[in-house]
Chain A
Amino acid sequence: MIVTRGLTKRYGKTVAVDGLSFTVPSGVVTGFLGPNGSGKSTTMRMIMGLDVPDAGAATVNGLLYDELRWPLREVGALLDAKAFHPGRTARQHLRWLAKSNEIPGARIDEVLDIVGLTSVADQRAGKFSLGMGQRLGIAGALLGDPGVLLFDEPVNGLDPEGIRWARYLLRDLAAEGRTVLVSSHLISEMALTAERLVVIGRGTLIAETSVEDFSAQHQSEAVRVVTPTLQLMVTALSKEGVRPTVSEDGGIVVTGVPCARIGEIAARASLTLHELTPIRASLEDAFMELTSDSVEYRSRERELVPAR
């Protein structure tokens, strides 16, 4: 279990993390979401003891990271792509890690097999692609067979098969009773992997909940209506107190009204319907809406100019 209480970190005048308190339980995958610059990496580094918090604390299984007796056997982390020396082979990298925490040598071959790097184990890690480097990082995290796992963007650089493999791996690890914290930008992927969510923005907690509740709370029920008699439909809906919006492709979007009622309104006005579809806003839309105020780095909207 990971617990943070009032975690705060400042860099000069910028407050990267501000009074962050949340709990990551065991047995489920917890997604750690937030826009760029929201403090996710800083928080994970503080959990790992790489940065010292200015206030508050982060504990793993009740202890600060440097109080753990065999750190790699209790916590496995993938924080950065390529946190290894390019001149060493994959095996050499895992070997010194194993020696540092008295992890048996046989375990090295085991984790190489789990991540699929056995065939390149004796190649210099500097030659690895991004995906292979990620796998080596995952191997390092799993080396001590730890009960707590932290992954920062684990699927970065993996192909679709690799992404799927990672998803199953994370879920299996959690199913074995481990604590799994995964930070990612890929919200749709997170929806498939995680059961709990911790959402932060500008260093503060925005939400700490289950994926289910998050989806339920932040998604509006909308219905898409396509009809040959657009204007009449709008009028009929307005009479019933419903304000639809017209979308670009000639359809109508109605929010907050169930399909059945719209169908009945149309029927009473003798209007033909071509399409009556419920739309579920995606988790991504819900997330964007929730964090829209907290986005630190936003690119400018470009106007699309038609090609000549």
Chain B
Amino acid sequence: MTIAALSLPATTPAAREGRVGFRQAVAAEVSKLASLRSTKLLLGITVLGTMLVTFLSTNGAAHHPRQWYQGFGWDPTNQAMAGLAIGSLALGVLGVLAISGEYGSGTMRSSLAAVPRRETLFAAKATVVGLFTLVFGEILSFVAFFFGHAILSTGVAPTAHLGQPGVLRAVVLTGAFLSLFALLGLGLGLIIRHTAGAIATFAGVTLLAPILLQTIAGHPAKYTPAIIFAQSVAAVVPQGNQLSATIGFVLMALYTVAALAVGAVVLIKRDA
């Protein structure tokens, strides 16, 4: 085996301007997210699952007689948004894997060798995961809305359109909410550092918590992410004793920021 000649770059490191900063870290994080097989898999599951559940939800509700839709809170937007629940879980797992996979595989050592300033690494990862899932979530939310309404229109169900009060807000906030799920997953992954543990915690917070809290008086389940998502944010017609969409969204944002803040501290303070 011959050794190929090593060539020095045209500029030596000292002469090169700038340093590894936020921009460079973001470029690396984009490259990482795009090259993870689980990313494509989870996005694919999200799209297919969302379409399927939205179809089932709207198709199932589209063919009642006209009177069925009067007298109770018929919410066609909420019906159409039903499929996005798949996204809440899948994108949460995406957020977890964006960091826990690094610890599990030893990639974190390479990441810290490349971007030793941990605040920068954290900021870049959170930005890339957050922005990417935000764009994806918004597109999916609008697609689900239009698709769901297309299905509803095959029957006599009253449909909504974006110009009506609360509808646009519901669609936009629902899409953004998916991004919050992803960032929550990222926060949990940073804290727990272990894929199975972080996903289990995420599932516990989103799926189990509402069930466990059902029995307690005062309906505390309405403060949990999944309930906020399904009944406060993705809804136009108020469903009984729920938080308003804005308050619910802000509360979820606070949960997410808290998880990310603790996660950032863990990343910065603890040995890798």
Contacts and interface: CB of A to CB of B under 8 A. Distances in A.
Interface of A: 45, 48-52, 65-66, 68-75, 77, 79-80, 82-89, 92-93, 95-97, 99-102, 104, 107, 110, 113-114, 116, 140, 142, 145, 147, 161, 165, 168-169, 172-173, 176
B217 interface: no
Contacts of A92: 31, 35
A72 B113 contact: yes
Nearest to B27: A99
Contacts of B13: 69-70, 73-74, 147
Contacts of A165: 1, 3
A145 B6 contact: yes
Given A66-B116, A69-B20, A169 B35 contact: no
A99 B28 contact: yes
B7 A69 contact: no
Nearest to B16: A70
Contacts of B112: 48-50
B31 A77 contact: no
Contact of A97 (B29, B36, B114): B114
Interface centre among B13, B18, B38 (most CB of A within 10 A): B13
Contacts of A142: 6
Given A84-B110, A87-B37, 8 more contacts: A51-B271, A65-B116, A69-B20, A99-B31, A100-B28, A102-B24, A145-B8, A169-B3
A209 B189 CA distance: 45
Contacts of A113: 4
Contacts of A93: 110
Contacts of B1: 116, 161, 165
B35 to A, nearest CB: 4
B272 A70 contact: no
Nearest to A76: B113
A113 B7 CA distance: 13
Contact of A96 (B19, B31, B106): B31
A287 B264 CA distance: 44
6 nearest A-B pairs in the assembled complex, by CB-CB distance: A100-B28, A69-B19, A66-B116, A96-B31, A100-B114, A92-B35
Contacts of A107: 9
Nearest to A176: B6
18 contacts: A49-B112, A51-B272, A68-B116, A69-B19, A71-B113, A77-B113, A83-B105, A83-B110, A85-B36, A85-B102, A87-B37, A96-B29, A97-B114, A101-B20, A110-B7, A114-B4, A165-B1, A173-B6
Contacts of A86: 105
A100 B31 CA distance: 9
A143 to B, nearest CB: 9
A11 B272 CA distance: 14
A113 B24 CA distance: 25
A168 to B, nearest CB: 6
A138 to B, nearest CB: 12
A114 B107 contact: no
B155 interface: no
Interface string B201-230: 000000000000000000000000000000
B73 to A, nearest CB: 45
B238 interface: no
A74 B113 CA distance: 11
Contact of A88 (B7, B18, B36): B36
A119 B263 CA distance: 39
A10 to B, nearest CB: 12
A100 B4 contact: no
A110 B7 CA distance: 9
B75 to A, nearest CB: 41
Interface in B9-39: 9, 13, 16, 18-20, 24-25, 27-32, 35-38
A75 B4 CA distance: 20
Nearest to B9: A145
Nearest to A113: B4
B45 interface: no
Given A69-B18, A96-B31, A110-B4, A87 B38 contact: yes
B24 to A, nearest CB: 6
Nearest to B124: A100
Contacts of A145: 6-9
A8 to B, nearest CB: 15
A165 B3 CA distance: 8
Interface centre among B25, B38, B112, B113 (most CB of A within 10 A): B113
B101 A72 contact: no
A100 B112 CA distance: 11
Contacts of A102: 20, 24
B115 A84 contact: no
B114 A114 contact: no
A114 B6 contact: yes
A70 B28 contact: no
Given A51-B272, A114-B3, A83 B24 contact: no
A100 B36 contact: no
A82 B37 contact: no
Contacts of B4: 110, 113-114
B20 A100 contact: yes
Contacts of B3: 114, 165, 168-169, 172
